[in-house]
Amino acid sequence: MINTVCYSYNINGSGNCIANLCNDVENYPYDEIRKALAKYPEYKIYSGVVVAIPNRGRRGIGGEDQVAGELCSTRVNKMLPRIGIDIKKDFRTIVNTEEYKQEVPYITCG
């Protein structure tokens, strides 16, 4: 088991937070993360795309595919969050380093 350390984060006002996930934070514990991952390399399997965007098509009455109309033109974006806020409103460190990336896609209008 990895020993965890509580960190206090300052979220930069750069607008890099979406849905309680933030890319740009001060005091991100890079060194501690690297040490823990060097000690437990089996955690590499948890890196990659961690959330998939579901297919938003619909099935018609006869089973034929129907594409739902969009309210706006959409674009798929990706972020590599370093902290998240859980349902108890606590900050949680998310591992995102050059070696271990956890990508989260999201859709925006535009």
Q: Kindly list the domain boundaries of the chain, sorted by start residue.
A: 10-109
Dihedral sign for Cα 84, 3, 45, 41, please. Answer: positive
The four Cα atoms 27, 92, 103, 18 give a dihedral, to 10 degrees, of -90
pLDDT at residue 37, rounded to an integer: 86
Strands (E) across the chain are located at: 10-11, 17-18, 21-22, 25-26, 48-49, 58-59, 65-66, 74-79, 83-85, 91-93, 102-109
DSSP bridge partners of 93 = 83
Write down the pTM of the prediction.
Answer: 0.63
Q: Could you read off the pLDDT tens digit of each residue along the chain, which spans 110 residues?
A: 444 444 445 555 445 788 788 887 888 898 998 898 889 888 877 777 666 666 655 555 555 555 556 678 888 888 889 988 888 888 888 888 888 888 888 888 87
pLDDT score at 34:
87
